[in-house]
Amino acid sequence: MSTVIRKPDFDNDVDKPNKVQAHNEACFCLRCFARIILLLLGAIMTIYVCILSSDRYFKYWVQTTIDRTDVHVSKIPFPAITICPADITLDNWQTGKRDKRIKLFNLVQSVHWRTAANVQETERDLKEFEEFKNQSLHHIDNLFNYKCEDLFVRCTWRRKVVDCCSVLFRRMTLGTCSSFNSIYAENPDPTWPWSVADYGIKSALNIQLNRYLNGIRLQAIGVIVQEPSELIGSSVTYTSDDRIVLTLQPLHFTAEPGVRSRPVNIRHCYFPEELTESYSDCTSHCHFNYILEKCNCTYDLPKPVKVDLRREESTRRCEVKDLPCLQANGVSLFYMGNIIEQSKDNIFNTTDCECFPSCTHTQYHAVTFTDKWNSLEGNENYIKVDVHFQEATLFSYRSTLYITILDLMVSYGGIAGLFLGISVLGAVNAILNRISCCKKHVPEPESKPVKPDHAP
């Protein structure tokens, strides 16, 4: 039987390396494609998360948090306290021109203190004062004059009896108000503002007012609590009761220097070197222009306001006949806040003056208690006012940056490392490895001569 000799398959031996090479190339392309997809996804996620981080930096700029809860009240000045006669009557009910002037004084004060019922009632009351319609409101405000010694009977400061007029209270530059601890009063004490280290009833300012002044009876008074360096009251109380107790709950605000880098409309405060006018000046200007726009007249404010010379000649002083307009537009001498309320035809809007306080300031919030204590005792000749701190300590708030530029850089680095696995050092090394002059030189192995085999 003959043996069959199979011819070797030389073609298959030649194709094996080609198949291996094709398989390797396919795997390489697949790996490259997967890497590109993962790199794109990582880049997209990196950009998206970086945008979210940047959004926190550019939109949520400043945050205000509690800095301390144990700041003693002696570390802040005691607020300025302003006392204003708001409603008066004749003690002996005289009639005639004097009685008419007093009624007009009360009508003007009711608009200033926002106690008038409505515009229609004010217009109806004005018909009685037709002869006074062209008199300026500044003149009407000064109809009621009194001596300091006649109004203030007894004063106690820090549990010590002191003279009310020579030590504590001074007349304001406008109207019939008297103020203590305010730099805007006439001839203020150079040592003002004073401070208090105690708290509780009768621990700070306690005063006793006389209701009867030269045949005139005080029906109601207004008590304004404000910062010593500001005209704007943070708390305003209007009452006809015999005893008024104001319990103060101050809040102190500061800001770290880094906040200065943010715009004012974001941090909502000014640093001392940035102030061109105080918060009171800014608000007064806003109200002045608001009155001029709505009622086409100007009003004498507690502090002189700079007027555009081009408009000064064409403006006039607000007169008695302008009272309905002042009331309809919510204008008040004692409620000059940063926001002006507007209401017309049952449409309620607000006007923002965009005035901001100093970054370091104190807000004095007052809780008011009033009663007829003197009437119950059968003594209606006096009004008692007590102003004191509620507690020995207060809350201090501090404005800080929500996220700093350093925090943003750290955030970017962490995001890039998380999704792309890169760092600054790795990126620099990758760039240097692609520069020919910076590539690491690997010496080629030296070829050793082959010694010939010697025959034995």
What is the pLDDT averaged over residues 213-230? Answer: 89
pLDDT at 238 over 90: no
Token pair listed for 236: 């305003």
In a domain, 452, yes or no: no
Range among 282-296, 315-329, 384-398, 424-438 with highest mean pLDDT value: 384-398
Between CA 197 and CA 191 the distance in angstroms is 17
What is the pLDDT averaged over residues 90-103? Answer: 67
Between CA 129 and CA 141 the distance in angstroms is 15
In a domain, 159, yes or no: yes
pLDDT at 193 over 90: yes
Going by their DSSP bridges, the two strands 243-255 and 382-389 should be labelled as parallel
Domain housing 258: 68-401
Between CA 150 and CA 381 the distance in angstroms is 12
In a domain, 61, yes or no: no
Name the pLDDT band for 80 (thresholds 50, 70, 90): very high
In a domain, 381, yes or no: yes
- Tell me which of 78 and 291 has the higher pLDDT: 78
The burial of 189, by beta-carbon neighbours within 10 Å (0-12 exposed, 13-18 middle, 19 or more buried), is given as middle
In a domain, 450, yes or no: no
Going by their DSSP bridges, the two strands 393-401 and 243-255 should be labelled as parallel
pLDDT of residue 454: 54
Give the pLDDT confidence of 300-309 residue by residue, as tens digits: 665 554 544 3
Among residues of the chain, what percentage have pLDDT more than 70? 77
Cis peptide before 193 (omega within 30 of 0): yes
What is the pLDDT averaged over residues 419-432? Answer: 73
Structural domain count of the chain: 1
Instruction: Report the candidate in 136, 147, 164 with the shortest Cα–Cα distance to residue 85.
Output: 147
In a domain, 36, yes or no: no
Between CA 9 and CA 3 the distance in angstroms is 19
Token pair listed for 150: 């006649």
pLDDT at 95 over 70: no
CB 359 within 8 A of CB 400: no
Coil vs helix vs strand at 224: strand
pLDDT at 186 over 80: yes
Query: What pairs with residue 382 in β-bridges?
Result: 210
Name the pLDDT band for 310 (thresholds 50, 70, 90): very low
In a domain, 109, yes or no: yes
Name the pLDDT band for 388 (thresholds 50, 70, 90): very high
Residues contacting residue 26 through CB under 8 Å, at least 6 positions apart:
none
Angle at CA 139, nearest 5°, toward 305 and 278? 20
Range among 226-240, 290-304, 356-370, 420-434 with highest mean pLDDT value: 356-370
Give the pLDDT confidence of 12-68 residue by residue, as tens digits: 555 556 666 666 667 777 778 777 888 888 888 888 887 877 777 776 678 889 999
pLDDT of residue 297: 87
CB 109 within 8 A of CB 219: no
In a domain, 430, yes or no: no
Lowest mean pLDDT among 15-19, 35-39, 261-265, 447-451: 447-451
pLDDT at 442 over 60: no
Lowest mean pLDDT among 65-79, 147-161, 305-319: 305-319
pLDDT at 281 over 70: yes
Name the pLDDT band for 254 (thresholds 50, 70, 90): very high
Lowest mean pLDDT among 90-94, 146-150, 334-338: 90-94
pLDDT at 85 over 60: yes
